[in-house]
Amino acid sequence: MSRSAGVLVVEHIAAGLVEKHQIAGALKTFPEKGDSRDALLSMPAEHIAGKIAEIVSAVAKGSSLTAVGVGFPGIIRDGIVEESPNLQQIKGFNLRDAIENAMAANGIRVPVRIYNDADATAAGIATTRGLQPKLNRVWTLGNGVGFGRYPGSEGAWEGGHSVVSLDPKENFCGCGGRGHLEGFLGYRAMRLRFLDLEPEEVFENAQSGDARCVEFVSRCHRALAAATATSIHMEGPGPFYLTGPNVNWIDVGTLDRLVHDMVKMSPLQGSRFEVIPTNDELGIIGAASNALAAAGH
Ligand SMILES: [Zn+2]
Protein backbone atom coordinates (compact mmCIF):
# COMPACT_ATOMS: atom_id res chain seq x y z
CA MET A 1 0.00 0.00 0.00
CA SER A 2 1.23 3.50 -0.81
CA ARG A 3 1.83 5.53 2.29
CA SER A 4 2.70 9.13 1.93
CA ALA A 5 3.11 12.02 4.30
CA GLY A 6 1.58 15.44 3.96
CA VAL A 7 2.70 18.68 5.58
CA LEU A 8 0.92 22.01 5.78
CA VAL A 9 2.87 25.11 6.75
CA VAL A 10 0.64 28.05 7.50
CA GLU A 11 1.10 29.77 10.84
CA HIS A 12 2.52 26.52 12.21
CA ILE A 13 3.80 23.24 10.76
CA ALA A 14 1.40 20.27 10.78
CA ALA A 15 2.17 16.82 9.38
CA GLY A 16 0.42 13.49 9.10
CA LEU A 17 0.53 10.14 7.37
CA VAL A 18 -1.93 9.75 4.50
CA GLU A 19 -3.39 6.48 3.22
CA LYS A 20 -6.12 6.30 0.58
CA HIS A 21 -6.75 10.06 0.80
CA GLN A 22 -7.31 9.87 4.56
CA ILE A 23 -5.21 10.81 7.56
CA ALA A 24 -3.81 7.69 9.23
CA GLY A 25 -2.93 8.20 12.90
CA ALA A 26 -2.41 11.41 14.81
CA LEU A 27 -1.12 14.69 13.36
CA LYS A 28 2.05 16.26 14.69
CA THR A 29 2.44 20.00 14.87
CA PHE A 30 5.14 22.55 15.63
CA PRO A 31 4.84 24.43 17.89
CA GLU A 32 2.77 21.87 19.74
CA LYS A 33 0.58 24.18 21.77
CA GLY A 34 -0.55 27.73 22.28
CA ASP A 35 -0.69 30.70 19.94
CA SER A 36 1.52 29.81 17.02
CA ARG A 37 0.69 32.75 14.76
CA ASP A 38 4.22 34.14 14.90
CA ALA A 39 6.15 30.92 15.51
CA LEU A 40 7.81 30.70 12.11
CA LEU A 41 8.35 34.39 11.39
CA SER A 42 11.85 34.59 12.83
CA MET A 43 12.95 31.02 12.09
CA PRO A 44 15.76 30.67 9.50
CA ALA A 45 14.86 28.77 6.32
CA GLU A 46 17.21 25.86 7.12
CA HIS A 47 15.56 25.43 10.53
CA ILE A 48 12.07 25.38 9.00
CA ALA A 49 13.22 22.65 6.57
CA GLY A 50 14.85 20.72 9.42
CA LYS A 51 11.73 20.99 11.57
CA ILE A 52 9.54 19.72 8.70
CA ALA A 53 11.89 16.74 8.19
CA GLU A 54 11.87 16.06 11.93
CA ILE A 55 8.10 15.88 12.31
CA VAL A 56 7.64 13.91 9.07
CA SER A 57 10.17 11.38 10.39
CA ALA A 58 8.23 11.29 13.66
CA VAL A 59 4.87 10.56 11.99
CA ALA A 60 6.49 7.92 9.72
CA LYS A 61 7.76 6.07 12.81
CA GLY A 62 10.25 4.09 10.74
CA SER A 63 7.75 2.88 8.12
CA SER A 64 8.63 3.58 4.49
CA LEU A 65 7.08 6.48 2.61
CA THR A 66 6.38 6.68 -1.12
CA ALA A 67 6.28 10.46 -1.24
CA VAL A 68 6.14 13.57 0.91
CA GLY A 69 4.04 16.57 -0.13
CA VAL A 70 4.42 19.96 1.53
CA GLY A 71 1.98 22.86 1.25
CA PHE A 72 3.84 26.13 1.80
CA PRO A 73 2.68 29.75 1.46
CA GLY A 74 4.03 31.61 -1.54
CA ILE A 75 5.02 31.15 -5.16
CA ILE A 76 6.63 27.74 -5.53
CA ARG A 77 8.50 26.49 -8.57
CA ASP A 78 10.45 23.21 -8.80
CA GLY A 79 10.81 22.99 -5.04
CA ILE A 80 12.08 26.55 -4.70
CA VAL A 81 10.11 29.15 -2.76
CA GLU A 82 10.39 32.02 -5.21
CA GLU A 83 8.44 34.41 -3.00
CA SER A 84 6.69 34.16 0.35
CA PRO A 85 5.61 37.63 1.52
CA ASN A 86 4.86 36.57 5.10
CA LEU A 87 7.98 34.39 5.53
CA GLN A 88 10.52 36.61 3.79
CA GLN A 89 13.55 34.69 5.06
CA ILE A 90 12.77 31.76 2.78
CA LYS A 91 12.66 33.69 -0.51
CA GLY A 92 14.79 31.89 -3.11
CA PHE A 93 15.35 28.86 -0.84
CA ASN A 94 15.32 25.34 -2.29
CA LEU A 95 12.93 23.88 0.27
CA ARG A 96 12.58 20.54 -1.53
CA ASP A 97 16.32 19.78 -1.51
CA ALA A 98 16.72 20.98 2.08
CA ILE A 99 13.92 18.69 3.32
CA GLU A 100 15.11 15.73 1.22
CA ASN A 101 18.65 16.15 2.60
CA ALA A 102 17.43 16.47 6.18
CA MET A 103 15.22 13.39 5.74
CA ALA A 104 18.18 11.46 4.26
CA ALA A 105 20.25 12.44 7.31
CA ASN A 106 17.49 10.77 9.39
CA GLY A 107 17.85 7.65 7.23
CA ILE A 108 14.70 8.23 5.11
CA ARG A 109 15.14 8.55 1.36
CA VAL A 110 11.92 9.84 -0.16
CA PRO A 111 10.99 12.28 -2.92
CA VAL A 112 9.60 15.55 -1.58
CA ARG A 113 7.29 17.86 -3.54
CA ILE A 114 6.40 21.42 -2.55
CA TYR A 115 3.07 23.06 -3.41
CA ASN A 116 1.44 26.36 -2.64
CA ASP A 117 -0.44 25.91 0.65
CA ALA A 118 -3.81 27.03 -0.71
CA ASP A 119 -3.37 24.75 -3.76
CA ALA A 120 -2.74 21.87 -1.35
CA THR A 121 -5.92 22.74 0.54
CA ALA A 122 -7.88 22.93 -2.72
CA ALA A 123 -6.53 19.48 -3.68
CA GLY A 124 -7.52 18.16 -0.25
CA ILE A 125 -11.08 19.46 -0.60
CA ALA A 126 -11.37 18.00 -4.10
CA THR A 127 -9.93 14.57 -3.26
CA THR A 128 -11.88 14.08 -0.04
CA ARG A 129 -15.13 15.07 -1.75
CA GLY A 130 -14.50 13.39 -5.08
CA LEU A 131 -14.73 16.70 -6.97
CA GLN A 132 -11.62 16.30 -9.15
CA PRO A 133 -12.93 17.11 -12.63
CA LYS A 134 -14.28 20.56 -11.80
CA LEU A 135 -12.37 23.73 -11.11
CA ASN A 136 -12.37 24.25 -7.35
CA ARG A 137 -11.08 27.51 -5.93
CA VAL A 138 -10.17 28.23 -2.33
CA TRP A 139 -9.54 31.39 -0.35
CA THR A 140 -7.48 30.85 2.80
CA LEU A 141 -7.71 33.66 5.33
CA GLY A 142 -4.82 33.92 7.78
CA ASN A 143 -1.75 36.10 8.21
CA GLY A 144 -1.85 36.32 4.44
CA VAL A 145 -4.68 35.63 1.98
CA GLY A 146 -4.08 32.48 -0.05
CA PHE A 147 -5.76 31.53 -3.31
CA GLY A 148 -5.71 27.89 -4.33
CA ARG A 149 -7.12 25.97 -7.24
CA TYR A 150 -7.63 22.36 -8.14
CA PRO A 151 -6.88 20.94 -10.63
CA GLY A 152 -3.62 22.88 -10.55
CA SER A 153 -2.33 24.59 -13.64
CA GLU A 154 0.72 26.55 -14.73
CA GLY A 155 0.77 30.09 -13.46
CA ALA A 156 1.37 32.21 -10.38
CA TRP A 157 -2.28 32.37 -9.27
CA GLU A 158 -1.53 34.90 -6.54
CA GLY A 159 -5.20 35.75 -6.12
CA GLY A 160 -4.63 37.13 -2.62
CA HIS A 161 -2.77 39.97 -4.28
CA SER A 162 -5.61 40.84 -6.66
CA VAL A 163 -5.96 44.60 -6.86
CA VAL A 164 -9.30 45.52 -5.31
CA SER A 165 -8.75 49.24 -4.62
CA LEU A 166 -7.33 52.14 -6.61
CA ASP A 167 -6.73 54.18 -3.45
CA PRO A 168 -2.95 54.85 -3.29
CA LYS A 169 -3.15 54.93 0.52
CA GLU A 170 -4.04 51.21 0.54
CA ASN A 171 -0.53 49.90 1.17
CA PHE A 172 -0.91 47.30 3.95
CA CYS A 173 -0.25 44.15 1.92
CA GLY A 174 2.64 41.95 3.05
CA CYS A 175 4.12 42.03 -0.47
CA GLY A 176 4.30 45.83 -0.53
CA GLY A 177 1.92 46.21 -3.48
CA ARG A 178 -0.86 48.80 -3.26
CA GLY A 179 -4.57 48.07 -3.24
CA HIS A 180 -4.31 44.31 -2.70
CA LEU A 181 -6.97 42.01 -1.23
CA GLU A 182 -4.49 40.82 1.42
CA GLY A 183 -4.01 44.46 2.41
CA PHE A 184 -7.63 44.36 3.65
CA LEU A 185 -8.12 40.78 4.81
CA GLY A 186 -4.66 39.62 5.88
CA TYR A 187 -4.26 39.44 9.66
CA ARG A 188 -0.90 41.19 9.52
CA ALA A 189 -2.33 43.95 7.34
CA MET A 190 -5.24 44.52 9.74
CA ARG A 191 -2.76 44.98 12.58
CA LEU A 192 -0.94 47.62 10.56
CA ARG A 193 -4.19 49.37 9.65
CA PHE A 194 -5.67 49.39 13.17
CA LEU A 195 -2.70 50.18 15.36
CA ASP A 196 -5.04 50.64 18.35
CA LEU A 197 -7.10 47.43 17.91
CA GLU A 198 -6.37 43.76 17.36
CA PRO A 199 -8.19 42.30 14.33
CA GLU A 200 -10.42 40.24 16.67
CA GLU A 201 -11.52 43.49 18.34
CA VAL A 202 -12.25 45.13 15.01
CA PHE A 203 -14.75 42.40 14.12
CA GLU A 204 -16.22 42.39 17.64
CA ASN A 205 -16.66 46.16 17.58
CA ALA A 206 -18.33 45.93 14.19
CA GLN A 207 -20.86 43.51 15.71
CA SER A 208 -21.72 46.09 18.36
CA GLY A 209 -22.09 48.86 15.77
CA ASP A 210 -18.83 50.84 15.98
CA ALA A 211 -19.00 52.91 12.77
CA ARG A 212 -15.30 52.74 11.85
CA CYS A 213 -15.21 48.96 12.31
CA VAL A 214 -18.55 48.41 10.52
CA GLU A 215 -17.19 50.35 7.55
CA PHE A 216 -13.98 48.30 7.50
CA VAL A 217 -15.76 44.94 7.76
CA SER A 218 -17.99 46.00 4.88
CA ARG A 219 -14.91 46.90 2.82
CA CYS A 220 -13.33 43.51 3.63
CA HIS A 221 -16.39 41.80 2.18
CA ARG A 222 -16.39 44.03 -0.90
CA ALA A 223 -12.67 43.34 -1.38
CA LEU A 224 -13.11 39.56 -1.23
CA ALA A 225 -16.16 39.77 -3.50
CA ALA A 226 -14.18 41.88 -6.00
CA ALA A 227 -11.28 39.43 -6.16
CA THR A 228 -13.75 36.55 -6.54
CA ALA A 229 -15.59 38.40 -9.33
CA THR A 230 -12.30 38.94 -11.15
CA SER A 231 -11.53 35.22 -10.87
CA ILE A 232 -15.01 34.43 -12.25
CA HIS A 233 -14.55 36.88 -15.12
CA MET A 234 -11.20 35.26 -15.98
CA GLU A 235 -11.95 31.55 -15.46
CA GLY A 236 -15.70 31.23 -15.22
CA PRO A 237 -18.09 30.39 -12.40
CA GLY A 238 -17.83 27.52 -9.94
CA PRO A 239 -17.51 26.69 -6.27
CA PHE A 240 -15.35 28.87 -4.02
CA TYR A 241 -14.36 27.45 -0.65
CA LEU A 242 -13.41 29.71 2.24
CA THR A 243 -11.18 28.43 5.00
CA GLY A 244 -8.28 29.42 7.26
CA PRO A 245 -7.96 30.75 10.81
CA ASN A 246 -10.02 33.90 10.15
CA VAL A 247 -12.78 32.46 8.03
CA ASN A 248 -15.39 32.95 10.77
CA TRP A 249 -15.16 36.72 10.18
CA ILE A 250 -16.78 36.35 6.76
CA ASP A 251 -20.53 36.42 6.24
CA VAL A 252 -21.24 34.22 3.25
CA GLY A 253 -24.68 35.72 2.60
CA THR A 254 -23.18 39.20 2.28
CA LEU A 255 -20.44 37.87 0.04
CA ASP A 256 -22.96 36.11 -2.21
CA ARG A 257 -24.99 39.30 -2.62
CA LEU A 258 -21.94 41.39 -3.43
CA VAL A 259 -20.65 38.94 -6.03
CA HIS A 260 -24.11 38.82 -7.55
CA ASP A 261 -23.94 42.61 -7.96
CA MET A 262 -20.46 42.39 -9.51
CA VAL A 263 -21.02 39.51 -11.97
CA LYS A 264 -23.95 40.14 -14.29
CA MET A 265 -23.22 38.20 -17.50
CA SER A 266 -25.53 35.19 -17.47
CA PRO A 267 -22.98 32.53 -18.55
CA LEU A 268 -20.81 33.60 -15.61
CA GLN A 269 -23.45 33.24 -12.94
CA GLY A 270 -23.98 30.29 -10.63
CA SER A 271 -20.89 30.48 -8.42
CA ARG A 272 -21.34 29.64 -4.78
CA PHE A 273 -19.40 30.00 -1.55
CA GLU A 274 -18.94 27.41 1.15
CA VAL A 275 -17.16 27.88 4.44
CA ILE A 276 -14.94 25.05 5.63
CA PRO A 277 -13.88 25.48 9.26
CA THR A 278 -10.13 25.89 9.48
CA ASN A 279 -8.21 22.63 9.74
CA ASP A 280 -4.81 21.32 8.75
CA GLU A 281 -6.06 17.98 7.49
CA LEU A 282 -7.28 19.10 4.06
CA GLY A 283 -3.94 20.70 3.19
CA ILE A 284 -2.04 17.67 4.48
CA ILE A 285 -4.20 15.25 2.46
CA GLY A 286 -3.99 17.45 -0.64
CA ALA A 287 -0.20 17.87 -0.50
CA ALA A 288 0.28 14.13 0.06
CA SER A 289 -2.15 13.18 -2.73
CA ASN A 290 -0.50 15.58 -5.18
CA ALA A 291 2.96 14.25 -4.26
CA LEU A 292 1.78 10.66 -4.66
CA ALA A 293 0.31 11.44 -8.08
CA ALA A 294 3.54 13.19 -9.09
CA ALA A 295 5.50 10.10 -8.02
CA GLY A 296 3.34 8.03 -10.41
CA HIS A 297 0.95 6.39 -7.94
ZN1 LIG B 1 0.18 41.91 -2.11
Instruction: With beta carbons less than 8 A apart as the criterion, state whether 160 and 145 touch.
Output: yes
- Give the rounded percent of residues in the chain with a pLDDT score beyond 90: 85
Instruction: Calculate how far, in angstroms, residue 55's C-alpha sits from the geometric centre of ligand 1.
Output: 31
Neighbours of 187 (CB within 10 A): 23
Instruction: Calculate how far, in angstroms, residue 73's C-alpha sits from the geometric centre of ligand 1.
Output: 13
Q: What span, in angstroms and rounded, lies between the C-alpha atoms of 233 and 217?
A: 24
Q: What is the mean pLDDT of residues 95-105?
A: 96
Q: Residue 265, Cα to own-chain centre: how many angstroms?
A: 29
Residue 133 confidence (pLDDT): 72
Instruction: Calculate how far, in angstroms, residue 110's C-alpha sits from the geometric centre of ligand 1.
Output: 34
Instruction: Calculate how far, in angstroms, residue 201's C-alpha sits from the geometric centre of ligand 1.
Output: 24
Residue 34 confidence (pLDDT): 66
Calculate the alpha carbon distances from 216 to 77, 136, 209, 223 in Å. 35, 28, 12, 10
Question: Which residues have their alpha-adjacent CB atom under 5 A from ion ligand 1?
Answer: 161, 173, 175, 177, 180, 182
Residue 223 confidence (pLDDT): 98
Q: Evaluate if residue 117 carries a pLDDT over 70.
A: yes
Instruction: Calculate how far, in angstroms, residue 275's C-alpha sits from the geometric centre of ligand 1.
Output: 23
Q: Which SS3 state, helix, strand or coil, does residue 195 take?
A: coil
Instruction: Calculate how far, in angstroms, residue 35's C-alpha sits from the geometric centre of ligand 1.
Output: 25
Instruction: With beta carbons less than 8 A apart as the criterion, state whether 249 and 200 touch.
Output: no
Instruction: Calculate how far, in angstroms, residue 182's C-alpha sits from the geometric centre of ligand 1.
Output: 6
Q: What span, in angstroms and rounded, lies between the C-alpha atoms of 144 and 89?
A: 15
Instruction: Calculate how far, in angstroms, residue 178's C-alpha sits from the geometric centre of ligand 1.
Output: 7
Instruction: Calculate how far, in angstroms, residue 158's C-alpha sits from the geometric centre of ligand 1.
Output: 8
Q: What span, in angstroms and rounded, lies between the C-alpha atoms of 225 and 172?
A: 19
Residue 99 confidence (pLDDT): 98
Instruction: Calculate how far, in angstroms, residue 199's C-alpha sits from the geometric centre of ligand 1.
Output: 18
Annotate 18-44 with b (16+ C-beta within 10 A) or e (fewer).
Answer: beeeebeeebbbbeeeeebeebbeebe
- Name the residue with higher pLDDT: 107 or 15: 15
Structure confidence by residue, pLDDT tens digits, 35-81: 666 789 889 999 999 999 999 999 998 888 999 999 999 999 999 99
Structure confidence by residue, pLDDT tens digits, 163-211: 999 999 999 999 999 999 999 999 999 999 999 999 999 999 999 999 9
Residue 38 confidence (pLDDT): 77
Instruction: Calculate how far, in angstroms, residue 79's C-alpha sits from the geometric centre of ligand 1.
Output: 22
Q: What is the pTM of this model?
A: 0.92
**What's the whole-number average pLDDT of the chain?**
94
